[in-house]
Amino acid sequence: MKKILIVSDNPKLTTFLKQEVIPKIYGIDCKFCYSKINKTPFKMQQLGAEEIDIKIKDADFARQYDVIFSLHCKQIFPPEIVNNTVCINVHPGLNPYNRGWFPQVFSIINKLPTGATIHLMNEDVDAGDIIVQKEAIITDIDTSLDVYEKVQNIEIELLSDWFERIAFGNYETYSPNMVGNYNSIKEFSELCNLNLEHVGTFKEHIDMLRALSHGDYKNAYFISEEGVKVYVSVSLSKEDF
């Protein structure tokens, strides 16, 4: 019996695994957890997941499992975990482009490819050998949320095809052909603080705003003359014919 730990802060991917994938696989025992820093854990709790602080777990904990999956886990796995069992990251980006936080946001702005990647984890963020990946196509009217939904659909497709193979070790890997680039949460926060004096084309400004528009999230803002934050988002649609 293969013991699998799935650490996820993404209810959509978790629901798909629990309902559509795992029931069809014989010989695995899966436990679901969500990260301690998840500020909205209710949906994960409804799915039967337990809280975990993966950053404080040690090598003995890691060795209890044959494979540990990260599905959009909000915590970075420590060396004690990734060096003592097989750790797999389901990452919403096309490694090695825009590794790190919110790949779709930076891809809209810097025009680097995005998509979904399933890869081995090592001590560097989103830098391990790749098992499988697929690109998502960004159009010129996609917001961050639009691209993220495309990426999640690709992740579901890849999990459907690869989860069982990965659980039983039936896969090969290849190394990224370059180091790529990394974006931090600090860089994202700096993007959100709009510079009203910035000089650029309308296209550049629209790209910036759609990259920071993600449903109901309040991301982009400027500081008004009264000293308060004013949030900005855009909605784009094509003409109906």
Catalytically annotated residues: 91
Assess whether the previous peptide bond of 79 is cis (omega < 30° from 0). no
- How far the first Cα of the chain sits from its last, in Å, is 56
Q: What angle do CA 24, 60, 166 make, to 5 degrees?
A: 30
Closest CA to 84 of 102, 61, 101: 61
Can you read off the two tokens belonging to residue 208? 């910036």
Q: What angle do CA 176, 181, 187 make, to 5 degrees?
A: 150
CA distance 106 to 74: 18
Closest CA to 151 of 97, 188, 191, 192: 97
Backbone dihedral angles phi then psi of residue 73, each to the nearest 5 degrees: -65, 135
Burial annotation 133-147 (CB, 10 A radius, 16+ → b, else e): beebebeeebbbbbb
Burial annotation 69-100 (CB, 10 A radius, 16+ → b, else e): bbbbbbbbbbebbbebbbbbbbbbbbbbbbbb
Contact 37, 75 (CB under 8 A): yes
